[in-house]
Chain A
């Protein structure tokens, strides 16, 4: 940038550095003929004297008030509190460290750290304060102590530490020519100090020789002291992100050699105690070999990106290899510093010490020592000639798989675990102290006052813990959302749950609150049993403590309701929500956001139970309340609208549902951005509705969009991912993309299994879906296994009369029939149809199911009997009539058939539904001798073609109409309708149409046409429909019967005439 500086600037700069007297001569030389340049520079030189500190102060209006109190830095000699500053001994990004003198109560030298003037922004102060707290938590001979803290007159905080007068550990070792063994002993002490910090929830994150000073005790022993927790620590009440980065940034610029791979990655929150283990590994390496695994100078030369790459990817050589590669002179120096001969030094390091150092230096922190203590112990084992835990990496590779799976979450979680435990310990500890103090001091204090004080203390502390836990749990939410492996989070929750139960018994209110919160996170993690247990414990505790009418009790009930709902325990969920609602209405009044929320939750239970009208009404009330209280566009309203969409969908109002769902999606996108669990769930619901609307393309793409988002948000194993996979699988199935459907559904199933085990409705649903797909793919044995499992579960959990059981039964029977396992199918149906069940109306469905099965087997009288029995219970079910009519005809029960036709007309004449009209008319038209009122039948047939004119099933309706016209003697009209139907590709309708056509042509004495139509129909029946006597007539057995019966009639009619080509008359 300063390659071609402006001439004016250069000349000016030169000139002002010259004595005034010499400037004119210089300008003459420098400007030559350029008078303009000379004039410009001269004018600048004229004002230069007057410029003074112009612009040297920052812009004035950046002061919060007109008055500025002239903030300036401290300097040696100044006093801060009771400390006199002696000299500056260190300086970091935001703080300065002074050596200072304390005069009372004791005179001593201390280190005083203070924020630099002007750097006291809120985040810096928070960081600074965090460091002080971190240090105050620790009490260890090898860690610099904090004596005091305070703030200057202008509010800048400072704290006072033990002044450590020592030298860097590496220097100390070399200066005193410590042997390897002596170095290792010092190293163990360092590890113990770091371990102490870790136990307090503090991570140093900047362990390097200059932060480990060795002093000498009065007895003359070497004492390593870990200093400068200044840029790097996690404390109980601070979010880690900012600081982690801050640290990483400073380290990158400062001491990259000691930086861990995860720090080099610069990814936030990825730093935990094992980062310190890594740095300890580097320290050990340097103590052993005299150099760091990667050369700091080389690293810095390589540039920042290269530093990061090397630290993250390159494996360092073993310490012994490093030593053996040194030049002779270097090796001799290193060995001399350790009072050893070079070969002996290499031998000592080779093997155990190599492995110990390399284990600490693992790139993958899950393979490092888990604790600093573990590292210290292994070094100790080496010193006492015991077997060390560290081994060549190859034996550790068996962990690799687990490690890969857990990779993402390991960092954050162990910090959280430490934080949680520390926080609880701190709180319980301080409570215990206060109680102790009170017991000792206040014999005179009245009990009531003591109680009050206790209550207040507890309130304050509870708030702290709760806030902490909430922060932790908020952290947990995203980590679930981010698709991280939640195994460790579950472990932490388990531990937290136990701790809370054990250690907070003296704070029952806090305990209940925390248990509720833990329950909520369990719920989010889909650990429903634990969630239920937590909420129930909290509920019991709450009731005992507060009685039944209390917010916390309501919170427990709400949490419990949700868990029960997720578990499918709907009746219990309803009870729980109802009680929560009653409590909240009583405490908060009828008009309150929490009341609206509870109402909405309760409506969700109704929805699940299929009580749609109630669900819709309650949800609508909640929606309106939310709009009144919160306005028209917010997440609560979106939530209610979402429920509206679901209910509409369930009610079959699909286009309204779609509109509502799109509205919710738009609102959530506006409020939440592009990616969010709620947006994913909106997309999922929309896809579901689209699928129901048969908009399969759109449904598929919407499901895929949902899936991509959910993968990103939740990872690959989450019930929500599974449910999207299931939906997608169903769409693919309907699109005929069977292979992909099977893959997708199997994935869904294995997730459900993983999350819920094999006893959960979610798993069973997925299994059912998969069964359907397997059936479609013709994989019957697999489908049978799946269907059997589904059915067994449903019978056990829902009872034989549940509608889901029926669907599952139908599928299993279909699969068994497809496998030609007829006996098994029949057995299954007979199992259901116990005499006790047959005596009840609920048996109708199963009777019909067995009738269908028997009909397919051509077992007409038995099938007819079952159907007739079912019809007793369901006299308005047109499908049963449509079964019974052909069955009676095939069973040759003609009286019964005629009676049935009378019933049909009594029941269904005047129907407007084309399907019912078609089927009922056909039933009555099947035999010419049905004795049915043909005028009424004709009307039904007319309804079918009129109301069903744009329906794909129209050929059937046309066929029906043709038959009606034929029976009415309108042969020309019959021919016309039959010809329309005959061109369509439905073999049974086509066959029927051929026979009607043949008969009508014959009646008009068009014998050739009649004959050819009959032949065509016969061929169709022969080639496209199952043969009479075949072991399975298929699901379209009714169409088969109709075609057969009409063929017989037509053959009878036409075949009875001379089969000559020439009719007798012209």
Chain B
């Protein structure tokens, strides 16, 4: 069994450390995948986080006799990992742009994107922490829908709820985050 499969099993059995370990594992895999793809593919290509997540699934779990019931844990971890990756990149790019780094910064083959996009990403990220304090389910939906770019249907499958519930939560969360970010800027 792969590490990921072991960890998924451990999570099911209630091992609290396993979730953190799985997150780290998935994070590393996704970061590696993203970096290598970004470096190789033609400029202008948008990489779908969802494709990356699926590929990570295949690499980490799919190749090893998976227990598919555990998919939810995996995709939740992947969404969180994706969020961290994106935030990480945004921070580093902004830092670079603002001269915040005096050392050589390795950008993993990225072109600097529009600063607004990065600002927004970071803003969403920060606001999301607040959202999850009162509305954990909605925050989870945001992670899957936004950071892992999953569809309502996919998100519904992972969270074991109906697609219309996902849609409602998503709507609420977008509005909530929009308001939060607006407030923090004013």
- Given A1-B159, A2-B137, A66-B112: A43 and B46 interface contact (C-beta under 8 Å): no
Q: Which of B12-20, B21-29, B172-180 contacts A (4 or more CB under 8 A)?
A: B172-180
Q: How many A-B residue pairs have CB under 8 A?
A: 156
A60–B43 touching, CB < 8 Å: no
- Given A8-B135, A63-B44: A55 and B117 interface contact (C-beta under 8 Å): no
Q: Which of A9, A60, A155, A249 sits near B138, CB closer than 8 Å? A: A9
A60–B44 touching, CB < 8 Å: no
- Given A6-B135, A242-B63: A54 and B178 interface contact (C-beta under 8 Å): yes
In angstroms, Cα B180 to Cα A47, docked, is 10
| Residues of chain A at interface, number, CB under 8 A | 52
A55–B42 touching, CB < 8 Å: no
How far in angstroms is the closest Cβ of chain B from A411? 15
What 0/1 pattern do residues 93 to 113 of B give for CB contact below 8 A with A?
Answer: 100000000000000011111
B182–A47 touching, CB < 8 Å: yes
Most buried by A among B46, B62, B89: B46
A58–B161 touching, CB < 8 Å: no
In angstroms, Cα B34 to Cα A267, docked, is 27
Q: Which of A59, A64, A119, A242 sits near B121, CB closer than 8 Å? A: A59
B47 within 8 A of A: yes
| A-contacting residues, B104-144, CB 8 Å | 109-114, 117-118, 120-121, 124, 134-135, 137-138, 142
B63–A268 touching, CB < 8 Å: yes
Return the chain A residue nearest B166 by Cβ: A2
Q: Which of B40, B69, B145, B160 sits near A1, CB closer than 8 Å? A: B160
How far in angstroms is the closest Cβ of chain B from A310? 16
How far in angstroms is the closest Cβ of chain B from A369? 27
Which residues of the partner chain B approach A54 to less than 8 Å between Cβ atoms? 174, 177-178
B10 within 8 A of A: no
A58–B171 touching, CB < 8 Å: no
B165–A2 touching, CB < 8 Å: yes
| B-contacting residues, A40-66, CB 8 Å | 43-44, 46-48, 50-51, 54-56, 58-66
How far in angstroms is the closest Cβ of chain B from A990? 63
Which residues of the partner chain A approach B168 to less than 8 Å between Cβ atoms? 9, 13
What 0/1 pattern do residues 261 to 295 of A give for CB contact below 8 A with B?
Answer: 00001111000000000000000000000000000
Which residues of the partner chain B approach A449 to less than 8 Å between Cβ atoms? none
- Given A5-B137, A245-B63: A61 and B118 interface contact (C-beta under 8 Å): yes
Which residues of the partner chain B approach A155 to less than 8 Å between Cβ atoms? 42
A607 within 8 A of B: no
Q: Which of B38, B66, B165, B171 sits near A64, CB closer than 8 Å? A: B38
Which residues of the partner chain B approach A63 to less than 8 Å between Cβ atoms? 44-47, 113
A118–B48 touching, CB < 8 Å: yes
In angstroms, Cα B43 to Cα A67, docked, is 8
In angstroms, Cα B67 to Cα A245, docked, is 13
| B-contacting residues, A1-58, CB 8 Å | 1-2, 5-6, 8-9, 12-13, 16, 43-44, 46-48, 50-51, 54-56, 58
Which residues of the partner chain B approach A268 to less than 8 Å between Cβ atoms? 63
A121 within 8 A of B: yes
In angstroms, Cα B114 to Cα A67, docked, is 9
- Given A44-B176, A121-B52: A6 and B111 interface contact (C-beta under 8 Å): no
In angstroms, Cα B49 to Cα A47, docked, is 28
B184 within 8 A of A: no
Which residues of the partner chain A approach B172 to less than 8 Å between Cβ atoms? 8-9, 12-13, 44
A246 within 8 A of B: yes
How far in angstroms is the closest Cβ of chain A from B135? 5
How far in angstroms is the closest Cβ of chain B from A67? 6
A122 within 8 A of B: yes
A58–B43 touching, CB < 8 Å: no
A65–B111 touching, CB < 8 Å: yes
Which residues of the partner chain B approach A124 to less than 8 Å between Cβ atoms? 51
How far in angstroms is the closest Cβ of chain B from A53? 9
Which residues of the partner chain A approach B47 to less than 8 Å between Cβ atoms? 62-64, 118, 121
How far in angstroms is the closest Cβ of chain A from B60? 12
- Given A13-B168, A61-B117, A241-B63: A119 and B51 interface contact (C-beta under 8 Å): yes
Most buried by A among B142, B160, B169: B169
Which residues of the partner chain B approach A121 to less than 8 Å between Cβ atoms? 37, 47-48, 51-52, 55
Return the chain A residue nearest B170 by Cβ: A55
Mind listing 15 A-B residue pairs with CB under 8 Å? A1-B159, A2-B161, A9-B168, A9-B169, A51-B174, A55-B142, A60-B121, A61-B93, A63-B113, A121-B48, A121-B52, A122-B37, A122-B40, A265-B65, A266-B66
Chain A residues proximal to chain B, CB less than 8 Å: 1-2, 5-6, 8-9, 12-13, 16, 43-44, 46-48, 50-51, 54-56, 58-69, 71, 118-124, 155, 241-242, 245-246, 249, 252, 265-268, 304-305
